[in-house]
């Protein structure tokens, strides 16, 4: 019961943030909140969907993931779009030479990386190293005036570190049957020559209107398919309704307002 309550709290926290920023475009493949998928109702078109916490994560790890997604989005994507890139508070702080870059690195370390280390079982050494390298590279690039700030916004160290955490959580907790089905979809697509995009790890895709959660094949193929409730009725399947003989409206004083078409009188020859 406590686990269910904790997971509900994590989803509630993330839902409020997703709603707050829903008018903004996704900030690339590492955006913690949104992504694009193929629109099931408009072939060849893309639609924006939300990234929500999956049910298979433990209570503690679900809450940590929700928190670091919120923090990474605030730092990397929350403010504005410029030259095709989303900017967050990390870029603004980094505008101040040296001191700003140092503060940005400290925030990335304490607010995102350190929170990630609190997951159940901690982080393996390889994930520690990758996250710290992302922070260090972000700091070095940010030292270059202006151009470094643009590269910093494109790199998104905090969002990359959240992705490292998501991959770790999937490796630990994703049910075996989901992984097997994902592998099967990947093989089928590659065999047919179709492009395959791996779905985002530790994520459930939700429609923007909160009325649709994409089914299993969507989560694993990266392509949305309409749910049964969204299926359109087939045309031409039912009998055509009988046509009734129409009434013609009259407009004269002596017509009583309307008159019916006269049927032919067989006996009178008319």
What does the radius of gyration of the chain's CA atoms come to, in whole angstroms? 29
pLDDT classification of 3: cutoffs 50, 70, 90: low
Q: Which of 59-73, 87-101, 202-216 has the lowest mean pLDDT?
A: 202-216
User: Does 236 or 120 have the greater pLDDT score?
Assistant: 120
For residues 51-64, average pLDDT: 95
Q: How far apart are CA 226 and CA 41, in angstroms?
A: 7
For residues 189-193, average pLDDT: 82
DSSP letter (8 states) at residue 180: H
Which one, of 17, 46, 44, lies nearest residue 32 by Cα? 17
Residue 241 in this model has a pLDDT that exceeds 60: no
pLDDT of residue 154: 92
Q: How many CB atoms lie within 10 A of CB 117?
A: 13
pLDDT of residue 163: 98
Residue 81 in this model has a pLDDT that exceeds 70: yes
Percentage of residues in the chain having pLDDT higher than 90? 44
Residue 69 in this model has a pLDDT that exceeds 50: yes
Expressed in angstroms, the distance from the first to the final Cα of the chain is 84
Residues 108 and 164: beta-carbon distance below 8 Å: no
Q: How far apart are CA 11 and CA 25, in angstroms?
A: 21
pLDDT tens per residue across span 106-159 = 999 999 999 999 999 999 999 999 999 999 999 999 898 888 888 989 999 999
| Burial profile 50-61: b = 16 or more Cβ within 10 angstroms, e = fewer | bbbbbebbbbeb
pLDDT of residue 14: 81
Tokens 């270059």, located at residue: 144
State the average pLDDT for the chain: 80
pLDDT of residue 4: 63
pLDDT tens per residue across span 197-216 = 788 999 999 888 755 455 44
DSSP letter (8 states) at residue 68: H
Q: How far is CA 146 from the centre of its chain?
A: 31
């Amino acid at each position: 019961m406590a686990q269910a309550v904790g997971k509900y709290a994590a989803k509630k926290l993330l839902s409020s943030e997703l709603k707050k920023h829903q008018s903004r475009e996704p900030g690339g493949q590492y955006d913690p909140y949104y992504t694009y998928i193929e629109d099931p109702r408009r072939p060849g078109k893309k639609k924006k969907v939300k990234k929500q916490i999956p049910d298979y994560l433990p209570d503690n790890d679900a809450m940590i993931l929700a928190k670091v997604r919120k923090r990474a989005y605030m730092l990397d994507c929350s403010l504005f779009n410029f030259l095709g890139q989303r900017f967050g508070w990390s870029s603004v702080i980094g505008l101040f030479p040296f001191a700003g870059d140092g503060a940005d690195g400290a925030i990335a370390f304490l607010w995102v990386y350190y929170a990630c280390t609190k997951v159940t079982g901690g982080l393996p050494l390889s994930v520690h190293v990758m996250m710290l390298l992302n922070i260090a590279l972000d700091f070095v690039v940010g030292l270059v005036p202006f151009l470094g700030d643009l590269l910093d916004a494109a790199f998104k160290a905090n969002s990359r570190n959240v992705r490292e955490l998501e991959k770790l959580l999937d490796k630990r907790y994703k049910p075996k049957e989901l992984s097997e089905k994902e592998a099967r979809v990947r093989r089928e697509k590659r065999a047919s020559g179709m492009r395959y995009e791996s779905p985002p790890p530790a994520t459930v895709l939700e429609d923007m209107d909160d009325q649709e959660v994409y089914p299993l094949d969507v989560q694993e193929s990266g392509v949305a398919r309409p749910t049964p409730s969204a299926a359109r009725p087939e045309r031409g399947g039912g009998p055509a309704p009988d046509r009734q003989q129409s009434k013609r409206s009259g407009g004269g004083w002596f017509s009583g307002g309307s008159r019916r078409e006269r049927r032919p009188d067989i006996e009178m020859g008319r």
